[in-house]
Structures are given as C-alpha cells and as structure tokens.
Amino acid sequence: MMREIIWAPWRSGFIKGKPEPGCVFCRLQRETDKRKILVIETGKHNFIVMNKFPYTSGHLLVIPKRHLGTLEKLTTPEANEHFKLVRLAASALKRALKTDGINTGMNLGRTAGAGVLHHIHTHLVPRWQGDSNFMPVIGETRMMSLDLEPMYDALCAEFLRLKKKK
C-alpha cells in the first residue's frame, strides 16, 4: 500500500494549498521577493522554484514563464531552456542534497494527475535510499515543511557554483 502511494510522485502538493484565484505559477512571477517564494533560478523563458508542498524534501519545479497548458505550445527556445534548467536542477540536487536518485517528469492533463492544470511544469523529486520506509504519506498531508530555507540556500549556492563553472 505504502509503495503504491510512494510511486505516485506526481501529485502536486498545490492541490492541497488554499484555492486562490488565478494561476499559481503566473502569480509567483509577480512576486519580487524570490526568497519568500523559494525561486532558485530565473532564466529567460523559465524559472525554477522549490515546491512548498513537496513530495520529498527538495522537490523542485521547472516552469515556463508563459501560461501554457500543453507541451506543444512551447517554442523551441523555451523548450531548450526548459530542459537545460531540468539538467541544472538535477545536478544541483545531486550535489547539494546528496540524492541517490531523482524522479522527473510532467503530468499533462487532469487524467495524468496535473495539480496545476493549465500551466505546464516539470517535477524533480529527489529520492534517497530507504526514503519510502520513512515517509508518512497517509492522507497526503505529509512531512516536510521541514526546513525549506536551509535547503533553499544550499541549492542556490550550488546553482551559483554550476553557473560559474561554465
């Protein structure tokens, strides 16, 4: 039973958040205090944010700036940068949080479990050996309001390092 729940990392925590008018991902972009909303990186076309309702700690989302409901609507430059940021995010998770593995993917459409339906996004869910033994996922209200800020700082530092390296 537990295992089944664990293997559905795509249920966005946002559905658990308070219902708010408008699109949550568009609203994030209007916030100027990036730290407050845990935005780690902003590119030309996409940005990376920590999920405040994470499936595991360090759950990241890569989000196109434009409000697009389908993958096909992404332009090539948007798509290229999107995947570039997914790669960067994966590297940062590996180094900053010492992950053993990462689940990454998109839920396109309600049937696929999209939490934010009309604004596509890619999840990166870090995994550690044995994490399924410890995750109290019953009722989906789990875990991890746990120290998002230290993790945020570690990830931001790692992003800086990765970008300098180039």
**Minimum CB distance to Zn ion, residue 54 (Å):** 20
Query: In the structure encoding, which two tokens stand for residue 37, read together?
Result: 């909303």
Query: In the structure encoding, which two tokens stand for residue 25, read together?
Result: 């991902």
Q: Are 86 and 72 in contact (CB under 8 A)?
A: no
**Minimum CB distance to Zn ion, residue 104 (Å):** 21
Q: Give the footprint of Zn ion on this chain (CB under 5 A).
A: 23, 25-26, 67, 119
Name which of 89 and 116 has its Cβ closer to Zn ion.
116
Which amino acid type is present at position 105?
G
The DSSP call for residue 62 is: E
**Minimum CB distance to Zn ion, residue 152 (Å):** 22
Name which of 13 and 103 has its Cβ closer to Zn ion.
13
Q: Indicate the SS3 state at residue 159.
A: helix
Name which of 5 and 68 has its Cβ closer to Zn ion.
68
